[in-house]
Chains A and B, each alone.
Chain A
Amino acid sequence: MSAQVDQRLTAFDVTRLRADFPILGRRLDGGRPLVYLDSANTSQKPQVVIDAVSEHLAVHNANVARAMHQLGAESTAAFEDARDKVSRFVGAASRDEVVFTKNSTEALNLVANTLAWAESDLGVGAGDEVVITEMEHHSNIVPWQLLCQRKGSKLRWFGLTDEGRLDLDDIEELINERTKVVSLVWVSNMLGTINPLDVIIARAHQVGAVVVVDASQAVPQLPVDLVALGADFVAFTGHKMVGPTGIGVLWGRRELLAQLPPFLGGGEMIETVTMARSTYAPPPHRFEAGTPPIAEAVGLGAAVDYLSAIGMDNVAAHEQAITAYALEGLATVGGLRVLGPTQPIDRGGAVSFQLADIHPHDVSQVLDSLGIAVRAGHHCAKPAHHRFGCQSTTRASFYLYTLPEEIDALVDGLEHTKRFFKVS
């Protein structure tokens, strides 16, 4: 079986690529090799990213945009260069559409809050409707609940089919002339589903609603062309795409960002300040109050360089192949039920499952004793778990460095887990 997958993975040599990631070579307690199957939680970092962060701190460190000395100029250039790299990586129409945040959560909260405060036509008010889906991460549910509670707006959502896809039967009714915002995930962190954004964006724009996309799992895995996608706001985070933690991105259409009020007030987001009032910088700096995560942004720039060198088409092909291999392998484990699509079609590389009646924490504990790192719990998607009648799942997730042998180890580990808990 491994040989078959290896043939599908000819675009780059996974074994050689793994040498770029120092952590993948480490041994855990007792000398166990690491089998890291938790990349949807956070990805591992290649040496070039670690070096970029470290070199910035060692050689160029200064604050950005406010330090007039040489180091300030170097630091500012490095920070803004990272913005250019990210902008090109996702096909933004302009670098000014890329706002640095600390993560996807902050990016989504930025949009939800500024849409609540906006006095332009974009503003969401009483009687307006916001549409999300039942498969959202909590970070794309709670900010909209807060907005709706504060503004007297109505929160609505798409349900899910038994296969774990959006139920689009009532799209015409759900997205209607009262809808101001449609916010949804591109690739589900729990079910793995890749959503048909084109259909939703077309309907939302028909009724004049803005579309916010949580691309936290999509930008790491898929080639992205934001101009072609046609959404209005897109959030993603650095640490899931081989970059550092503490740096995320909100991309927004330039003319829409320009209509939004500030999110946080402080340094660097202003034009001028008097004791009575202030005026604000244009985007993106309007939304970047305070000293930003500078070294982290530089690290994200190195991360997108790394991914670009491999090619996102190749990364996506590998993700597809390794996910297909994992679904095949997991299907051989008796008593295992995958939540979400069981075929590798329109599907990302996160596979959540239940193993007989063994609690996911117990599954992950036994796997951990074998050196296999997975996630267990609700994966910040409690409503999606509730939809499928369960409280938690075990999730294995893959990335560009995942080997078929690691999937084999997972499958063997699950059989071992069943024996440990005396489940046939």
Chain B
Amino acid sequence: MDLNSLYQEIILDHYKHPLHAGLRTPYEAEVHHVNPTCGDEITLRVHVDEGLVADVSYEAEGCSISQASASVMSDLVIGKPIDEAMALHEEFLTLMQGRGQVDVDDERLEDAIAFAGVAKFPARIKCALMSWMAWKDATVQSAPVEEQS
């Protein structure tokens, strides 16, 4: 396995300099997700405003992949309409479950495309997905159901 396909420069940059880190107010929902096998944790807050993901803030402890993913994810979804952000979540999930064989729109996924290499390391996929799952959970809790559909 090529280590550089897993640890892309973009990922290491986000790991060293995470965007949107720290817990902020206002927020409508806060969730705490853990990865029981490795102990990685994230506390994540979502603030929605008029159908938009107005803010995502978090405190996370974990490996470079999980930390970088939280940074990339929050940067990608902040400011987007909720339904568009949910669609990005689906695309990222498809990318992660595709064993590195899936074609996705790198224009839309932006820096998240760097995680394509992670899909070839089955043990690390859950690291990349933890923050996305936490975000979806918090967003579903914070947004009225009609705004989702």
> Which residues from chain A sit less than 8 Å from chain B, CB to CB?
29-30, 359-362, 365-366, 368-369, 376-378, 382, 385, 391-392, 420-421
Instruction: Give every chain A residue within 8 A of B27 (Cβ-Cβ).
Output: none
User: Complex Cα distance A391/B38, Å?
Assistant: 9
Instruction: Give every chain B residue within 8 A of A368 (Cβ-Cβ).
Output: 1
Chain B residue with Cβ nearest A370: B3
User: Complex Cα distance A420/B85, Å?
Assistant: 33
Chain A residue with Cβ nearest B39: A378
The answer to whether residues A29 and B1 also contact, given A359-B62, A362-B63, A362-B64 and a CB cut-off of 8 A, is yes
Q: When A and B form their complex, which 8 residue pairs have the shortest distance between CB atoms, in order from nearest?
A: A361-B63, A359-B63, A378-B39, A377-B38, A369-B3, A391-B39, A362-B64, A392-B39
Instruction: Give every chain B residue within 8 A of A29 (Cβ-Cβ).
Output: 1
Assess the B3–A392 pair: CB atoms within 8 A.
Answer: no
User: Complex Cα distance A368/B122, Å?
Assistant: 14
Instruction: Give every chain B residue within 8 A of A361 (Cβ-Cβ).
Output: 38, 40, 62-65, 124, 127
Number of interface residues of B (CB under 8 A): 19
Chain B residue with Cβ nearest A28: B1
Instruction: Give every chain A residue within 8 A of B3 (Cβ-Cβ).
Output: 365-366, 369, 420
Instruction: Give every chain A residue within 8 A of B39 (Cβ-Cβ).
Output: 377-378, 382, 385, 391-392
Interface string of B29-71 (1 = CB under 8 A from A): 0000000011111000000000000000000011111010000
> Which residues from chain B sit less than 8 Å from chain A, CB to CB?
1, 3, 6-7, 12, 37-41, 61-65, 67, 121, 124, 127
The answer to whether residues A391 and B61 also contact, given A378-B38, A420-B3 and a CB cut-off of 8 A, is yes
The answer to whether residues A391 and B41 also contact, given A361-B127, A420-B7 and a CB cut-off of 8 A, is yes
Instruction: Give every chain A residue within 8 A of B63 (Cβ-Cβ).
Output: 359-362
User: Complex Cα distance A377/B37, Å?
Assistant: 7
Instruction: Give every chain A residue within 8 A of B64 (Cβ-Cβ).
Output: 359, 361-362, 421
Could you tell me the dominant secondary structure of chain A's interface residues?
A: helix
Instruction: Give every chain A residue within 8 A of B40 (Cβ-Cβ).
Output: 361, 391
Rounded to whole Å, the gap between the CB of B85 and the closest CB of chain A is: 27
Rounded to whole Å, the gap between the CB of A8 and the closest CB of chain B is: 35
Rounded to whole Å, the gap between the CB of B124 and the closest CB of chain A is: 7
Given A359-B67, A361-B62, output 6 extra A-B contacts at Cβ < 8 Å: A359-B64, A361-B38, A376-B38, A391-B39, A392-B38, A420-B3
User: Complex Cα distance A382/B40, Å?
Assistant: 12
User: Complex Cα distance A63/B38, Å?
Assistant: 39
Assess the B62–A365 pair: CB atoms within 8 A.
Answer: no
User: Complex Cα distance A420/B64, Å?
Assistant: 13
Chain A residue with Cβ nearest B38: A377
Rounded to whole Å, the gap between the CB of B41 and the closest CB of chain A is: 7
Write 29 A-B pairs (CB below 8 A) sorted by A numbering: A29-B1, A359-B63, A359-B64, A359-B67, A360-B63, A361-B40, A361-B62, A361-B64, A361-B65, A361-B127, A362-B7, A362-B63, A362-B64, A362-B65, A365-B3, A365-B6, A365-B121, A369-B1, A377-B38, A377-B39, A378-B39, A382-B39, A385-B39, A391-B39, A391-B40, A391-B41, A391-B61, A391-B62, A420-B3
Chain B residue with Cβ nearest A386: B39
User: Complex Cα distance A360/B64, Å?
Assistant: 10
Most buried by A among B38, B41, B62, B124: B38
User: Complex Cα distance A365/B121, Å?
Assistant: 10
User: Complex Cα distance A360/B124, Å?
Assistant: 12
Chain B residue with Cβ nearest A385: B39
User: Complex Cα distance A382/B37, Å?
Assistant: 11
Instruction: Give every chain B residue within 8 A of A392 (Cβ-Cβ).
Output: 38-39
User: Complex Cα distance A359/B67, Å?
Assistant: 10
Rounded to whole Å, the gap between the CB of B17 and the closest CB of chain A is: 13
Instruction: Give every chain B residue within 8 A of A365 (Cβ-Cβ).
Output: 3, 6, 121, 124
User: Complex Cα distance A359/B65, Å?
Assistant: 10
Instruction: Give every chain B residue within 8 A of A377 (Cβ-Cβ).
Output: 37-39
Chain B residue with Cβ nearest A359: B63
User: Complex Cα distance A361/B125, Å?
Assistant: 12
Rounded to whole Å, the gap between the CB of A341 and the closest CB of chain B is: 23
User: Complex Cα distance A359/B66, Å?
Assistant: 10
Instruction: Give every chain A residue within 8 A of B6 (Cβ-Cβ).
Output: 365
The answer to whether residues A421 and B127 also contact, given A361-B38, A377-B39 and a CB cut-off of 8 A, is no
Chain B residue with Cβ nearest A376: B38
Rounded to whole Å, the gap between the CB of A272 and the closest CB of chain B is: 44
